[in-house]
Structure 1
């Protein structure tokens, strides 16, 4: 008996894990004000009784039994109770701005990974999309800068020599105690982002997973939202080169694929999203890697030929035939020449007119440079090459504008190893960055 690749309960466990992820994070993504987020903006004399609701809400959303929630005292404390003898509030030094719960997020992500990687077999597209979307539902928004500054100010206040005067109350640290450095909310947020990004990468690179268009789009959208474009060039390359799994005799066998096939081309919308994420993250290496695996790949070039050149090619091939039949009909309307001679004259004249007019139109279309800002074609580049690699030139133009100076009068003044490498890379692609003859005032 062959083992079922996925028992019926695997999808249920994955859904439960996704519900647990959303249940833990609903309080962060809700648009109502939270007591934990507004604590730093309240005065220091706020009573402890007003904090009872956020404590209970947080305990409920983290799947803790209600019986374990510790009820705070309902007796209001006077405002002076929160003041120390030196005039500072007791909560000013111990307050930490809200940040993502790294332990809870790690546990939820690990639970989704165990549910997805546990079954043996080839996962379906819907099952993989459910895992990616379950991870993407985790709220990884960065902590506001004001909260981080308040945390740093509080930590600096603790390190002041005046804080040692608290030893008069018997609160001085012991000799053997060592202060452990606490991670700031920004660092905890980055840890959560890295955890979610690595989990998505693990799911997509799992050998039995088939990277479809929907899975690739979901992964690119997730990494773009997280600001982690470093893995996008590799995943875009795996979309065309990853071996395809097949079940044979109860085991999984992998079949090699042809990465140059037209159906392995990345959609233009996905490629644009990935390139925008790399530019926003200021990662030049990732941007060029995305370019080479999308617009510059053989699969993309073949796909463009099929989608945009096949129909016009048939039209060009059928034009002489249509002109000949039209010339034959015109020859029947005159009596000065024989029909055969009149057909030849009409055919030659119409073919020359259409041919010359089409040639002038093609030259005007392929040599237009109004859409070019900084990257232009080198002189002598064939028109067919210009048309075929126009998307690549437009992407390099966007990269050059993003990593260079924004002022037009400073074009060409960029320095640095990275930008010099980009200039040489563009030159090797039969293009020129900041051609002098096309600059303002030089033409």
Structure 2
């Protein structure tokens, strides 16, 4: 059996940490493909990766999440006699990873990623984030809490008197992992959240849409949306790293470009995570860095307004060509007069019809629940900021009363601030004339 050299010992510990997070040490090993990650270098020859980083990235590259296989297994005890009493089902609790082991493994993965020199590739960053997300820390904490409650209930004097402590209780207590009393589940959740934040905010990391989506998914699972507004802002404004002659330089970018707009699906996921955690500050921060950003508005203009604007521009030309052809098939007027009459009539018909349809589309309020547009708001403003209004509507419904007849009765400094914030956006929260029974 081959042995690794003595200097690769830190690499082995780092690989073991990555395997712990990916769940390899908890289940039967399976066949998988190993992928070696290389940093993306521009204009220079890539330097050889250190043994520690190669072993770490190979361990992190697994795409199998083995921790999902920890299900409860039931075994049946043999009958006490042939006459036969009913069989007793014993619930054998699965072994869950120790919180101290998870904390140590997360630290090793973070240190291994930070020790890498050069610009990490997108795949490398995604692999590190996925390694941190392999273990559902909240589920592990809830499982250990339930197990501790079961063990405490079985140790009660009543259980001893009633003879309820048998082989099942012994088996259940033997499966409960022993954790350090100084480590709380909340601390582990914070550690994983801080590790993901440190990876994404590393100066040499380029935040791509895939990296941003993975980070939002991880923080949503952990229930820690406090850093989402900052990372969403970094997605548009973070300087772009460039490597030349072995040195990394950073180039400022324009955060208002349309290509820097956050995708609507990612923005919705971040907003849902903030609402689920009942964090209004994080929800408003997500709103400001997504739907209210200039990059998002410019992207919407390019994607949704460019084609209609082109159609409006070319419609008069097409109508004039049609009017010219119609003038040739009549003999009542001269061609020039007939062309003018046909062109003006067709243009008025198309213009009036398009205007009525546009007003009907921009003033529809069936999708509005609590947040509506103020009277006199221009139609172009309503169309451009409709996603922002819908997000504020979702926030108001989430943090306010759920009963429709109690809309407008919310009190407190936080909700009053939300009402004023919505009013500054040319919107109204709970307009009286649009409430049920008032229109």
Return the TM-score normalized by structure 1. 0.75
User: Is it true that 1:32 corresponds to 2:71 in the alignment?
Assistant: yes
Contact kept in structure 1, 2:100 and 2:180, CA below 8 Å:
no
2:135 aligns with 138
CA deviation after TM superposition for structure 1 residue 14, in Å:
2.0
Equivalent residue for 1:7, pick from 49, 56, 64: 49
CA deviation after TM superposition for structure 1 residue 250, in Å:
2.0
Number of residue pairs matched by the alignment:
359
Q: Provide Cα deviations, 1:389-427, integer angstroms capped at 9, x if missing partner.
A: 000000000000000000000000000111000000000
Q: 5 Å matches for 1:27-426?
A: 29-33=68-72, 100-140=97-137, 141=139, 142-144=141-143, 146-147=146-147, 149-150=149-150, 183=181, 188-426=184-422
1:39 aligns with none
Q: Provide Cα deviations, 1:209-252, integer angstroms capped at 9, x if missing partner.
A: 00001100110111111111000000000000000001133211
1:76 aligns with none
Q: Work out the CA distance in 2 between the residues paired with 1:109 and 1:436.
A: 53
Contact kept in structure 2, 1:295 and 1:301, CA below 8 Å:
yes
Contact kept in structure 2, 1:21 and 1:138, CA below 8 Å:
no
Q: Work out the CA distance in 1 between the residues paired with 2:410 and 2:72.
A: 46
Q: 1:362 to 1:404 in 2, by over 3 A?
A: same
Q: Work out the CA distance in 2 between the residues paired with 1:255 and 1:156.
A: 65
Give the match's secondary structure for 2:184.
Answer: helix
Q: 1:325 to 1:11 in 2, by over 3 A?
A: farther
Q: 1:275 to 1:420 in 2, by over 3 A?
A: same
Structure 1 unaligned segments of length 5 or more: list them. Answer: 36-49, 59-97, 158-180
Give every structure 1 segment of 4 or more consecutive aligned residues whose post-TM-superposition deviation is greater than 6 Å. Answer: 19-22, 151-157
Q: Work out the CA distance in 2 between the residues paired with 1:103 and 1:195.
A: 11
Contact kept in structure 2, 1:5 and 1:122, CA below 8 Å:
no
CA deviation after TM superposition for structure 1 residue 119, in Å:
1.9
Q: Work out the CA distance in 1 between the residues paired with 2:61 and 2:385.
A: 46
Q: 1:403 to 1:110 in 2, by over 3 A?
A: same
Which is further off, 322-331 or 105-114? 105-114
Which structure: larger Rg? 1
2:13 aligns with none
Q: Work out the CA distance in 2 between the residues paired with 1:214 and 1:432.
A: 36
Give the match's secondary structure for 2:286.
Answer: helix
Q: Provide Cα deviations, 1:76-100, integer angstroms capped at 9, x if missing partner.
A: xxxxxxxxxxxxxxxxxxxxxx6x5
Which is further off, 114-123 or 148-157? 148-157
Q: 1:191 to 1:156 in 2, by over 3 A?
A: farther
Contact kept in structure 2, 1:426 and 1:433, CA below 8 Å:
yes
Q: Provide Cα deviations, 1:135-177, integer angstroms capped at 9, x if missing partner.
A: 11123114146445446768999xxxxxxxxxxxxxxxxxxxx
Give the match's secondary structure for 1:247.
Answer: strand
Contact kept in structure 1, 2:57 and 2:124, CA below 8 Å:
no
Q: 1:5 to 1:123 in 2, by over 3 A?
A: farther
Contact kept in structure 1, 2:239 and 2:251, CA below 8 Å:
yes
CA deviation after TM superposition for structure 1 residue 107, in Å:
1.7
Contact kept in structure 2, 1:426 and 1:432, CA below 8 Å:
yes
Contact kept in structure 2, 1:330 and 1:346, CA below 8 Å:
yes
Q: Provide Cα deviations, 1:161-208, integer angstroms capped at 9, x if missing partner.
A: xxxxxxxxxxxxxxxxxxxx9749xx7322221111111001000000
Q: Provide Cα deviations, 1:326-383, integer angstroms capped at 9, x if missing partner.
A: 0000001100100010000000000001111111111111000000000000000000
Contact kept in structure 1, 2:422 and 2:428, CA below 8 Å:
yes
Give the match's secondary structure for 1:7.
Answer: coil
Q: CA RMSD in A?
A: 2.9
Q: 1:113 to 1:8 in 2, by over 3 A?
A: same
Q: Work out the CA distance in 2 between the residues paired with 1:5 and 1:104.
A: 33
